[in-house]
Amino acid sequence: MAHSPSYPLSKCLPSQTEEEMENQKRTYQYFRHLVSTLPRVGGFKRPFYCYNGWYARLPSLVSAMVAREHFQAQPTDVLLATCPKSGTTWLKALLFATVNRSSHTNSHPPLATLSPHQCVPSLEFSVYVNDRIPDLDALSSPRLFGTHIPFQSLPASVIDAGCRIVYLYRDPKDCFISLWHFANKFRAKDNIELWTLDEFLEHFSNGISPFGPYWDHVLGYWNGHLERPQKVLFLKYEELMQHPEVHLKRLAEFVGCPFTEDEEKEGVVEGIIRLCSFENLSNLEVNKIGRSELAIGTVENSIFFRRGEVGDWVNHLTPEMARRLEEITESKFRGSGLSF
């Protein structure tokens, strides 16, 4: 299996005139130039640029800027927002299966042959890429999109249209370990010396991580949730793992597709949880050997599946390292109402 078609975006790229394509290319060139003028953190093969208080690499930052300029949210849209490595893949699968459950047969759900990232495209990794600005009106509602863009830099239409946002966050220690493995997979592919935990921790603790600082990312959405609780739902990876049924029902209600009593009796909720479980998804052929085209290049879908557990950090972090992350979390979240 090579590159699967990017469903559902394949519907959104109608043939365009040379002039339209040229204009879109110019938009990307403009933002590429803009990003190249931003402060950057050196010492990396692919530097991080700092924009509006957060860090990202050039392709995803350019895409985020194009999204900010061109994404026209609809009130029925649902945005799945996360800091990288917080369980985006899982959340995408759960919401996609929930929202589309009436049109999917149990024997051939799209998730059996498409990665969750193909089913729910991310604004900055799959939608606004390749110098193209897709026509998203072709998607049926409710449209689901993933994003890592921090709350303060979301396209204005997301808030103006009142679309719903589901924010999933995760213990920063597990997030950090997951990110370290993820980053090292890219380094191994590029034949670059792997990050040591110490080096990586130093950057992460100083806020330098994709779409980070991690803590500001969570707090940005948390404040958004406090301001509009009916529009921003907050969910913890650890709680979702502990009580998947409770939280899936909460999610379904929030996005306007509550499970009926009959569905609950028929085991629809459990079925979706099973379909989207780490064990099931990570063993599907599409997620084992398939690939996806993202703004950061072609990636193997398997890169999004590692262990899928709570507390794997204990196998990697020394007590001092763990304490450092806990102290930062404690001081950043103090008084916010958030904790781990």
Rounded to the nearest whole angstrom, what is the least distance from the CB of residue 3 to ligand A3P in the complex?
Answer: 19
Question: What 3-state DSSP class applies to 232?
Answer: strand
Rounded to the nearest whole angstrom, what is the least distance from the CB of residue 133 to ligand A3P in the complex?
Answer: 25
Taking the C-alpha atoms of residue 10 and residue 138, their distance in angstroms, rounded to an integer, is: 10
Choose between 178 and 329: whose C-beta lies nearer to ligand A3P: 178
Taking the C-alpha atoms of residue 172 and residue 284, their distance in angstroms, rounded to an integer, is: 28
Choose between 227 and 270: whose C-beta lies nearer to ligand A3P: 270
Contact 89, 116 (CB under 8 A): yes
- As annotated, the active-site residues are 148
Question: What 3-state DSSP class applies to 196?
Answer: coil
Contacts with ligand A3P by CB under 6 A lie at 82, 84-90, 174, 178, 181, 276-278, 281, 304-308, 312
Residue 208 to residues 32, 96, 211, 304, Cα–Cα distance (Å): 20, 31, 8, 21
- What is the longest distance spanned by two Cα atoms in the chain? 59
Rounded to the nearest whole angstrom, what is the least distance from the CB of residue 18 to ligand A3P in the complex?
Answer: 37
Choose between 267 and 311: whose C-beta lies nearer to ligand A3P: 311
Contact 1, 290 (CB under 8 A): yes
Contact 224, 218 (CB under 8 A): no
Choose between 196 and 242: whose C-beta lies nearer to ligand A3P: 242
- Nearest C-alpha neighbor of 330 from the set 322, 340, 318: 340
